[in-house]
A = this chain, B = another copy of it.
C-alpha cells in the first residue's frame, strides 16, 4: 500500500540512506557501481522519491508558477503551452494562476505560492514595478511580455515589428494611423505606442492614440467608434481580440474593411485567420516565448543568488502576417 522509502531501499541494498539519497539527487557523489546497485534495487522496489520530503530540506520544489493576467486571452495559450512543454522536459511542474486582470489577486496568489515554487513566470503582469523588483529580490522571476530593469524577461520584438507594420500600411498609401491602446497597466501597450509613433514619424505618417480599451472582443465597438472619429484610414488595435470586435462593429456600421479602413491587430491568435475579413496582425512564435521564459527561469533558479551573469532581456522576433483586413487606402491609388 504505502510506497517504499529511502530506508527500504537502503536496507535492501545494504547501504546507508544518505547513499541512496545521493544516488538520486547527486549522482556523481557516489561511485559508479554503488549508484547502479542502488538504482537497480530502487526500481525493483518501485521506489520514487517523495517530492515534499525532498522540498522540505533542499528547498527545491521542481515547480514553477505561471501567472497570467487573463487566461481567457487565447494569446496566452501558446505561451502556456510552450512553458508547459519546457517545464515538463526538465521534470518540472507548471502551476497555472489566473490573475483576472487584478493586481490584488496577482499579489495574493504570488504570496500564497511563494513557499511552494522555485520561481515565477509573470506574463503581462499588472503589478507596479516596485512590487516586481521586490519580488525578484527574494525569488527567481522572469517576466513575459514586459520588461523591467534588473529582471530577466522575454518579449516579442515590438520596435522592428511595428516598423514593418507601419511600412506595410504606408506602402498601401495610408497617411494616418490610429492606435487603439490597451490597459494603462499594460507594458506592451506603452511599448507598442512608442514604436508606432516612432515608425509613423519616420514614414511621414500621422499617428494618434485612443483609449485605453479593455482588450476583449466586446470592447471593440467602442474602439471602432472612437477610431472613426479620428479620420485615420489605418486602425491598429492593441490586440487581435479588440481588432475582431472592431471588425464586427465596422461591419455593423457598414464601414467596409479594407476598402474604407484597414485594421490590424497584435498576437496572431488562431481566430485571426478565420474571421472575416481575415486579420492582418503582428504575430510571432509565442510557443518559443513560453519556452525561453522557462529556460531563463531555470537558469535563474539554479544560479546562486545574484549570479555573475548579466540579467537577460530576451527579445524574440515578431512577424507581420498580412491578411485581408488591410488594403489600399481609400482615395489613394496604392503605392505611390
Q: Could you list which residues of chain A lie within 8 angstroms of chain B, going by C-beta atoms?
A: 3, 48, 50-53, 55-56, 61, 63, 71-72, 74, 77-78, 80-81, 84-85, 88, 91, 93-98, 109, 112-113, 115-116, 217, 244, 248, 270-271, 274-276
Contact = CB atoms under 8 A, between A and B. Distances in A.
Contacts of A113: 93
Q: How many copies does the complex hold?
A: 2
B51 A116 contact: yes
A97 B109 CA distance: 20
10 closest residue pairs by CB, A with B: A276-B276, A271-B271, A52-B55, A274-B275, A96-B96, A52-B52, A51-B116, A52-B56, A71-B81, A84-B98
Nearest to A275: B274
A248 B274 CA distance: 8
A276 B251 CA distance: 13
A271 B279 CA distance: 13
Interface centre among A48, A81, A116, A276 (most CB of B within 10 A): A116
A98 B96 CA distance: 12
Contacts of A72: 77-78, 81
Given A56-B56, A115-B48, A270-B271, A95 B96 contact: yes
A96 B97 contact: no
Given A61-B52, A271-B275, A98 B85 contact: yes
Contacts of A96: 80, 84, 94-96
A72 B95 CA distance: 17
A279 to B, nearest CB: 9
A201 B244 CA distance: 40
Contact of A116 (B84, B93, B275, B276): B93
A53 B113 CA distance: 14
Nearest to A269: B271
Nearest to A108: B88
14 contacts: A50-B56, A51-B116, A52-B115, A53-B56, A56-B56, A71-B77, A71-B80, A77-B77, A85-B98, A93-B95, A93-B112, A94-B96, A274-B274, A274-B275
B94 A95 contact: yes
A74 B270 contact: yes
Contacts of A61: 52
Contacts of A50: 56, 115
Interface centre among A78, A88, A95, A96 (most CB of B within 10 A): A96
Contacts of A56: 50, 52-53, 56
